[in-house]
Amino acid sequence: MPRPSANADTSRRILDTAERLLQTRGYNAFSYADIAQSLRVTKASLHYHFRTKAELGQHLIERYQQSFAEALADIDRTSSDSRQRLRRYIDLYLGVLRDGRMCLCGMLAAEYATLPKSMKTELKKFFDENERWLIEVLEKGRAARELRFSGPARETAMLLISSLEGAMLLARSYDDVARFDATAHGLLAALTVDS
């Protein structure tokens, strides 16, 4: 995915480090120097693998999106009902937060106005895919009388994404995962038939 002739493992380690920096500090608040220091290589070496920071950023979103898509596919395969699917969807966010990180795409959404065009395009794909997956879960859940909500499923899907991203943002500012839990609990309770 980076330069075709590059060592895959090195490229992966660069992405891992850049991902952590992006999710904790933001795209505009980390540099090639930060990655280089963490991996004990020079900045010039990083540019061999990812020519520009914009290119690196684009790869980060693509990889994050793919990883998320795989997690969603796993939830689809191994969950029995819609309520469990939603619970596990929320747990994806929780896992990121427990690692001291913000959702990569939520972070980039805040910095949206300053991002290169290629990153803006990739970013929207992530949210579109999340929305698409949630709409299906919500509609099937309502049909099976496992979930309860009024109006179009898309409206509730957008509410879910917004709430979870916002809850991560706030929980990180208070360094308090319990804040996220409380919000997620209220959200799930409002959607569950026997609330």
Q: Which residues bind DNA (CB under 7 A)?
A: 5-8, 10, 30-34, 40-45, 47-49, 51-54
Minimal distance, residue 101 CB to DNA, in Å: 19
Contact predicate 107/27, CB 8 Å: yes
- Which is closer to a copy of itself, CB of 2 or CB of 147? 147
Nearer to a copy of itself, 12 or 87 (CB): 87
Question: What x-and-dash track marks residues 89-128 binding a copy of itself by CB under 8 A?
Answer: -------------x---xx-xxxxxx-----x--xx--x-
Choose the contact partner of 92 out of DNA, a copy of itself, none; CB within 5 to 8 A by kind: none
Contact between 174 and a copy of itself by CB under 8 A: the answer reads yes
